[in-house]
Structure 1
Amino acid sequence: MRLGCVDGEAVLIEDGRYAGLAEPSAQRFATPGQVYGDWSGFLSWASEDHDLKWRDLDAALLQAPVPSPGQVFGVGLNYHDHLEENGQAGTRPLPLTFTKFPSCVTGPYDAVEIPVDGVDYEVEVVLVIGAYADRVPAERAWEHIAGLTVGQDLSARGVQQGGQLSLAKSYRGFAPIGPWVTTPDELPNRDALDLRCWVNGELLQDGTTAKMVHDIPELIAFLSTITPLRPGDIVFTGTPAGVGFFREPQLFLAPGDVVRSEVTGLGVMENRCVAPAAAGSYDEAFRALAPRPRAKH
C-alpha cells in the first residue's frame, strides 16, 4: 500500500491513480495525521472493500506524505562506506543521533532554498512510525513501523561545523520527503534497499541499506530506549558515501541545481534549489560560518 498527501488530504496511490480519504467511508482518516494516529484502525479499514473515487495522478500535486511529524530524528555515519570516507572505517559507534525541526519538512517536488554556502545533499531512507514504541526490542521493531519513504537530509556544513547541528539541518525545506509512504509488505527485501542521489544529472551517491552500520530494527530499539517514538514521527536513517563534504574538491548545492533522490521500491523525488525568498536578521552571521576543509586522516 502507498499513502500520499494531496492538498492536505491523505490519499491512497495505486497504478498511477490516487483516491482521497476525505470521502464519507473514510473521513476519520482524511489527513495523514489521522491515518498515522490510528494506524491499526486504518489498516483494519483498508482491509475492507470501499467504493473510492479514483483519479489520474499528477505527481506534481504530491506534498510531503507526513507533513507535520511530531518528532524528526536523524542518524549520522550509519553506512560503512560513509564511515570509510570520514576516516573512521571499521568502527561501530552507537548511532550518532540528532534532530531536525518538523518545520523543515517539505514535499518531494518542492523547491528548496539555499541560504548559505556549503549546503550538502544526503539521500536517505526515512521511517514513519505507526505504533507507539517505548523500549522496543529490535526483533519487534518492524511492528511499529507504518512504512518507509525517500528523504534528503540537507545540511549546511559550515553552520554544522560552527556548533549548530540541529539548526544546520533545519533550514526551511531541508527535509524533503516522499513521494509517498510505502508499507513494508510491498518490499521484497526491506533490509536491502538501493538508494541513489543525482545532482544536475550526475550520479553522486549509490548505496544500499544492506551496508548500514545499525540496521532499521536496531535504530528503533536504540531511539526508543531513550524516548518513546509516537505515531507519525519520522526517522532519517543515514546516508551512504558520496556526500559533497568528503569529495575532493568539495561539492555543495547552489541555486539552480536539481537534486534527484531515489530508493528502489519507494519512489523518486526531485527538488530544485533556489535563492532565499527573503532576508533574515542573522543571515550574515550564518553565512560567515563557511565550511572548513575536512581534516586529513
Structure 2
Amino acid sequence: MRFVTYRTLEIEPRLGLLHAGLVVDVEYFGAAIGHDLPSTMLDFIDLGPVALRFLEESLASGTSADFVGTSLPEGNVALLAPIPRPRKNIFGIGLNYTEHVAESARSLDTSGELPQQPVIFSKPPTAVAAWNDPIGHNGRVTRQLDWETELAVVIGQTARRVAEARALDHVFGYTVINDVSARDCRRAGQWIVSKGQDSFAPMGPCIVTADEIGDPQDLTLKTRVNGVEKQNGNTRFMLFNVAQLIAEISSVMTLEPGDIIATGTPAGVGAGRDPQEFLWPGDIVECEIEKIGMLRNPVVAV
C-alpha cells in the first residue's frame, strides 16, 4: 500500500491511501465500513501490523459505495511530507556507499577509509519539507548547497537491541528523502548545521509499505538537477544494509514507531564532481527511487 498525507484548500492535512487513481481518506473510509481509523500517519503506524492487514483486506473487499465521499482524484489534492512532523530527529547515515566515501575523501576532507561502523548524525523535525516545497538557499550562510537522494526507512514497531535477522520485521515502509547538505557549514567535524537547516529534508511523495518493496537492497536511486542526471546508484551497494542499520541503532537507542532512518547516498553529489556543482535559486531537484516514486523541489532564495 502507498500512504500519503494530503490536503486541499478546504481540508486540513489528513492521512490518505493511493488506490486506483484516488486518494482514499483512511479515517472516512473506516467510518464508511463501520470501523474507527485514524486521520494521521503516525497514529496509524502506532496501530501496528494488524491495522495494515485490516485496511488492505477492507480495500480489496470494498464496494464502489465505500469510496463515494471518502476519496478524491489524485490530481485534486496537494501532497505533504508523509510524516509532516516526525516525533524525533531523523537518523541520518553518512558515508554508506563505497564510491561516496571516495568522492567525499577527495573533496570534503573526510577519511578515505571505509567506516567500520555506521556514521550516524541527525536532522531535526523542522528540516522536513514536502513535494514541491522550496529548498531554502540562504546565501549568507552557504555557497555550497548540495543534493543527496536517499532511501528512508520508516519504523513500524518498537525496536530495542534487535538482531539483524529480525530487523526488517520492524519496518513499516519506505520513502524518499533528499538529504540536502550545506557543505561549507560543517563545524569541527559536526554535521547537524550542514544538514539540519529548515527545508533540508524534503520527503515523499508517499510511504510504500514494506511488503510492496520486498528487498530494500535492490532499488535504483537517481537524482536530476534541471533535468540532468547527477546520481544513479543502487541500494545493493550500501556498506551497511537496512537490517544492519536498524540492528546497530537499536543496540544503543530505542527505535519507535514512526522513526525515520535516511540510509545514505551513492556517488554523484555536487561536491564530489569535477568541477564541483552546487544548487542555486531557480534550480529544480528531482530525487527518484524505484518502486517508491519521485520527489521534486525547487531551490529558492531565503
Correspondence for 1:83 among 90, 93, 101: 101
Distance 2:292 2:45 in 1: 18
The equivalent of 1:70 in structure 2 is 87
Question: Does the CA-based 8 Å contact 2:150-2:177 persist in structure 1?
Answer: yes
Please identify, of 75-84 and 186-195, the stretch whose mean Cα deviation from structure 2 is larger: 186-195
TM-score (norm 1): 0.88
* 1:1-297 → structure 2 map (5 Å cutoff): 1-7=1-7, 8-23=13-28, 24=31, 25=34, 27-49=36-58, 50=62, 51-52=66-67, 53-58=70-75, 61-71=78-88, 72-87=90-105, 91-115=114-138, 116-161=142-187, 163-276=189-302
SS of the aligned residue for 1:185 comes to helix
The equivalent of 2:10 in structure 1 is none
SS of the aligned residue for 1:248 comes to coil
Distance 1:161 1:207 in 2: 29
Decide whether aligned partners of structure 1 residues 56 and 26 sit closer, same or farther in structure 2, where only a CA change above 3 A counts: farther
1:184 is displaced (CA, Å) by 1.8
Question: Does the CA-based 8 Å contact 2:221-2:290 persist in structure 1?
Answer: yes
1:59 is displaced (CA, Å) by 7.9
1:92 is displaced (CA, Å) by 4.1
1:58 is displaced (CA, Å) by 2.0
Please identify, of 263-272 and 49-58, the stretch whose mean Cα deviation from structure 2 is larger: 49-58
Please identify, of 162-171 and 150-159, the stretch whose mean Cα deviation from structure 2 is larger: 162-171
SS of the aligned residue for 2:248 comes to helix
Distance 1:96 1:207 in 2: 20
For structure 2, which runs of at least 5 residues remain unmatched after alignment? Answer: 8-12, 106-110
For structure 1, which runs of at least 5 residues remain unmatched after alignment? Answer: 277-297
1:86 is displaced (CA, Å) by 2.9
The equivalent of 1:288 in structure 2 is none
1:30 partner letter: S
**Sequence identity, in percent?**
35
Distance 1:163 1:47 in 2: 46
**Deviations, residues 103-141 of structure 1 (Å, cap 9, x unaligned):** 111112211111121111000000001100101111111
Decide whether aligned partners of structure 1 residues 217 and 86 sit closer, same or farther in structure 2, where only a CA change above 3 A counts: same
**Deviations, residues 61-81 of structure 1 (Å, cap 9, x unaligned):** 110001121221000000111
Distance 1:62 1:201 in 2: 22
**Deviations, residues 218-251 of structure 1 (Å, cap 9, x unaligned):** 0000000110001111110000001111112211
Decide whether aligned partners of structure 1 residues 137 and 59 sit closer, same or farther in structure 2, where only a CA change above 3 A counts: farther
Distance 1:67 1:250 in 2: 32
